[in-house]
Structure 1
Amino acid sequence: MAPTSAAVGEGLTLSELTARADEIVVARAVWSESRYEGGQIVTETELERIETIRGDARAPLRLVAPGGVVGPVGMRVEGSPRIAVGEEAVVFARRSSRGVRAVGMSQGVFPVRRRGGRPFVHPSGEGIVLVRRDAQGRLAHVEPPIAAPMALGEFLALVRREAGLR
């Protein structure tokens, strides 16, 4: 059996992702660059807004995530969101003094892939084992907000409902 690795994080519901996000967008990554920040490597990805559900539709959106490669040095952070240039995703992000970050690490980035020409949202949370405390206070595994691909329009309708939008 091959070794595996993952981060452990609090599993967030779609309602929690929506409530914690300053920005909720359907976006395409158009540029990405890794750099050192405070002795660690981070990757900044510029997102082109396709649709803005929450946030300033005119404001630039550059997602900052831990990890990346600078010259010969690489740093991998399990559970860190990654959007390759050219890829689309539904992104739940929060603005802070350290930049725009995905809510719940990779939980806040839902990849969008096309099947038969139609866009489908795929489960998020790559590289994270999602857990929550049960009634007895023990950590228990939980599923991501969506467990299987879902049509983009259907997913956005759920998000708008959670955000109190129609």
Structure 2
Amino acid sequence: MVIALVASSLSAAGVAHATSTEAMDLRALVHDADHVVVGTVVSQDARYDHLDRIVTDVTIRVDERMHGAAREGTTIVVRRLGGVIGDVGLRIEGEPSFVEGERVVLFARLVAADHVLRPIGMSQGVLPISRESGIEMVMPGGEGLALVQRGSDGRLRAAPGALMAPEPVDALLARVRDLVAEIHGAD
């Protein structure tokens, strides 16, 4: 369950710096996901949706499926809020950003009302993969988010995300596969 706090507190200059939301650990990302895949960003298409918001549909080729109906070699489309159409743009702090050609570990959920896939926990559900010193590493997600958890006293406190530091791809994917098997069983 995500506590989407509309808490992009505006500074004196009136600029939002982060969106506050409930921190999700790896177990929560896997639990809430309809799809867990490693994929490569193929393309992005910004457009206006039925509510006249700018959204970007991101096509991702599935390189490895860990959970969900998408098969390796096929593509899935994930929608994020925001994007650029001509000289008009919309940016939502905490929404994931994608780069064509980039590999990601994606945790996504089908939003039935819109019939689209959305990353779990905004940018928490998109973990970029980069190469550092010749080793593929999964980078922490959650860009643009102030992650919080409610304490026993009811107050919100800063909290860690699913991944605190870069982690080798093989190690992270082994943990994800174990969680998928435990939570969702065999696909």
* Aligned sequence identity (%): 38
Report the TM-score, using the length of structure 1 for normalisation.
Answer: 0.94
Match of 1:78 among 59, 83, 93: 93
Letter in 2 for 1:21: A
Q: Distance in 2 between matches of 1:60 and 1:164?
A: 23
Cα distance between partner residues in 2 of 1:67 and 1:47: 18
Q: CA deviation at 1:4?
A: 6.5
Give the alignment partner of residue 151 of structure 2, picking from 134, 143, 149. Answer: 134
Q: Match of 2:181, SS? A: coil
Q: Does 1:110 align with 2:127?
A: yes
* 5+ long unaligned stretches in structure 1: none
CA contact (8 A) 2:35 2:70 kept: no
Alignment partners' CA distance in 2, 1:18 and 1:147: 17
State the match for 1:40 in structure 2.
53
* Structure 2, unpaired ranges of 5+: 1-12
When the two structures are aligned, how many residues end up with a matched partner?
A: 165
CA distance in 2, matches of 1:81, 1:96: 17
> After the TM superposition, which parts of structure 1 deviate over 4 Å for at least 4 consecutive aligned residues?
none
RMSD, matched Cα = 1.7
The answer to whether the Cα contact below 8 Å between 2:70 and 2:76 also exists between their aligned partners in 1 is no
TM-score (norm 2): 0.84
Q: Distance in 2 between matches of 1:146 and 1:107?
A: 9
Q: What is the letter of the counterpart of residue 70 of structure 2?
A: A
Q: Counterparts of 1:13-162 in structure 2 under 5 Å?
A: 13-37=25-49, 38-58=51-71, 60-97=75-112, 98=114, 99-162=116-179
Distance 1:20 1:94 in 2: 7
CA deviation map 1:24-63 (0-9, x unaligned): 0011100101000111100111001111100123353101
Query: How far apart are the structure 2 equivalents of 1:20 and 1:54?
Result: 11
